Amino acid sequence: MYSEKVMDHFQNPRNVGKIEDASGVGEVGNPTCGDMMTIYIKVEDNILTDIKFETFGCGAAIATSSIITEIALGKTVEEAYEISRNQVAEALDGLPPVKMHCSNLAADGLKAAIENYWKKNGIDKP
């Protein structure tokens, strides 16, 4: 059902935790399945220099949270904002169709954190 990458990121999630002085915070949830995700970003010179997550949810939600932190770290804010839901799933070697909403949550959480950063800094969304 799940790829080896999904299982690895679920069992050994990367970048778990909270950034106390985060540049941006994104909170998203899916009321249907109960998954809740918070993404924290640290931005320096327009680069994501740190990213962490806290997720309450299924294995796929934890795995997508973990992988998106690896994909986004080191990218410019604009590059990170363009990470798509499909890119998240593809980076995990796919997700079962019934779990695709989990990749949506990770991508949406990152976008929400970036939008929060832009709002805090008076930056218009490109």
Could you list the active site residues?
33, 102
By 3-state DSSP, what share of the chain in percent is helix, strand and coil, each rounded to 5?
Answer: 45, 25, 30
The helix (run of H) or strand (run of E) holding residue 101 is: helix 100-120
Residue 2, helix vs strand vs coil: coil
Q: What is the DSSP letter of 40?
A: E
